[in-house]
Amino acid sequence: MDFPLNSRLIRKRRPGRQIMRDNDDKGMPMSTKKLLGMIFAALITSSLFAADVALNPDHPDRYVVVKGDTLWDISSLFLRDPWFWPEIWYVNPQIDNPHLIYPGDILTLVYIDGKPQLRLQRGRDVKLSPQIRVEDLGAAIPTIPLDAIQQFLTKPLVVDEGELEKAPYIVQNADEHVVAGGGDRTYVRGIDDETGLWDVFRPGGPLVNPDTKEVLGYQTRFVGEAAVERFGDPATLLLTQTDIEARTGDRMVPMLQEDPITYFQPHPPAEDLEGRILHVMGGVTQIGQFDVVTISLGEAEGMEIGHVMKIWRAGETIRDTVSGRRFDRVTLPDEEAGLLMVFRTFERVSFALVMKASRAIHVHDFVRTP
């Protein structure tokens, strides 16, 4: 399972990639220093919320993890607020990678000095080794359903106004095709002579803060991936795969080579924040559980990967037909509608997954620190 309780996130490292080192720190890998910093931050965050942990009234005393579970699912069984999982988790030093949970593992709720504590028993025998071993993280249960967000971890993008106007673009598809798909060739202007793999994007509409009317960015639509077959002006590219058909004017961005973050530690923001839902992926009118949304809070406001926010349905302004006063209107109170978790951040906006929907959710509903 991936709720690395002692870190905010884990990045997979590609085989053969060199780890950058800081010469002023005795050769400690930079990735290690960053991880230690995140561990320290997570411990501080954890201590701030220790007094607020509340168990789910219907919690089980024992649970056997099954394939398809997520950490959020299991946390919801035991806790009223699933993001407080680290507060009741017992880190057993006799178990390899005690922060990871696998199908077949047994979780037991016990009380130590009157405080609840969850203990882990492996569903299979695990022998300790004097050497550090690399566990197959892919076998551990994830924090959230990754299939719901996989396509949004690196694509699409949110860009500033005019940013894509400087990017290479499709000037025409091969054989004078109006649209092109996977396996087709296309001609692109502006390609440099070094980058061979490209993502194809289509510029989208503005993301506007409904309160300030400020444009926070422009969301793009991911079209597909392409590889250079011949450099030049124009260059010839092969569309290796497409989600939608490529057409003249679509823009090219160098393909991201790093693995995306896929391990999360849900936690509330340290500050009281309020934003709005700006957009829902897929164009649906009503938002439900496991839908991906864009919210009007980003890195500039302190948003982090793993931040949990409550969703509030904005109170409707209605006419009071009982008071007898002409044009008498009243605004109904906001109603709590669900929970979301941020999984990707940009400067002014973030992508989030709706983890819980207790009523219908709509674009422009509020998101607030729980």
Q: Where are the domains of the chain?
A: 23-151, 155-254, 274-368
Residue 168 clears pLDDT 70, i.e. is over it: yes
CA distances in angstroms from 308 to 169, 366, 369, listed in the order given: 38, 13, 7
All residues at 6 or more sequence positions from 128 whose CB lies less than 8 Å from its CB, including other chains: 94, 96
Residue 183 clears pLDDT 60, i.e. is over it: yes
> Residue 134 corresponds to which amino acid?
V
Q: What is the mean pLDDT of residues 197-215?
A: 94
Q: In what order do the strands lie in the sheet with 158-159?
A: 158-159, 215-219, 206-208
Per cent of the chain over pLDDT 70 is 81
**Mean pLDDT lowest for which of 184-188, 264-268, 276-280?**
264-268
pLDDT for 4? 38
pLDDT digits (tens, 9 = 90+) for 61-89: 999 999 989 999 999 999 999 998 888 88
**Is 157:218 a contact under the CB 8 Å cutoff?**
no
Residue 244 clears pLDDT 50, i.e. is over it: yes
Q: What is the mean pLDDT of residues 312-319?
A: 91
pLDDT digits (tens, 9 = 90+) for 108-124: 999 988 889 999 988 86
pLDDT for 336? 96
Residue 303 clears pLDDT 80, i.e. is over it: yes
Q: What is the mean pLDDT of residues 297-310?
A: 96
pLDDT for 257? 74
Q: What is the mean pLDDT of residues 215-227?
A: 94
**Is 312:334 a contact under the CB 8 Å cutoff?**
yes
pLDDT for 22? 36
All residues at 6 or more sequence positions from 64 whose CB lies less than 8 Å from its CB, including other chains: 104, 105, 106, 107, 123
**Mean pLDDT lowest for which of 201-205, 295-299, 336-340?**
201-205
pLDDT for 16? 33
Q: What's the distance, Cα to Cα, between the start and end of the chain in Å?
A: 24
pLDDT for 129? 43
Residue 347 clears pLDDT 90, i.e. is over it: yes
Which one is predicted more confidently, 240 or 265? 240
pLDDT for 124? 62
| Assigned architecture for domain 274-368 | Beta Barrel (2.40)
Task: Provide the whole-model pTM.
Answer: 0.76
pLDDT for 133? 40
Which band of pLDDT confidence, cut at 50, 70 and 90, is reported for residue 138? low
Give the highest mean pLDDT range of 9-13, 54-58, 260-264: 54-58
